[in-house]
Amino acid sequence: MTAPRPSSLAVAATAHEHAWRTESMHLTSEGRVRYVRCTGCAARRIDLDAPVTAPPTPLTRTLG
Ligand SMILES: [Zn+2]
């Protein structure tokens, strides 16, 4: 009997932590869609930044 070996998929997933760089983006009603690519390998991903729902926070008191 041989010990179970980790699958090649698991090994690839832990090879390195992807460093995502935004290649392009556009706004949709769902938020901002970003097309990202890893700078360390050829992996690509599409991210969605949800629209900001919190109201803006004032940095100063009202002037004038
Ligand atoms: Zn990568």
Cα(59) to centroid(ligand 1), Å:
38
pLDDT digits (tens, 9 = 90+) for 11-21: 555 679 999 99
Q: How far is the CA of 13 from the centre of ligand 1 (A)?
A: 9
Between CA 16 and CA 21 the distance in angstroms is 15
Closest CA to 34 of 42, 44, 43, 23: 23
Separation of 25 CA from ligand 1 center, angstroms?
A: 19
pLDDT in tens, 29-60: 888 999 999 999 989 999 999 887 888 899 99
Distance 20 CA to ligand 1 centre (A): 8
* Ligand 1 centroid – CA 7 distance (Å): 18
DSSP string computed for 27-55 = EETTEEEEEEEESSSS-EEEEEEPPP-SP
Dihedral pair phi/psi, residue 8, rounded to 5°: -65, -30
* pLDDT mean over 3-14: 56
Name the token pair of 46. Answer: 């599409």
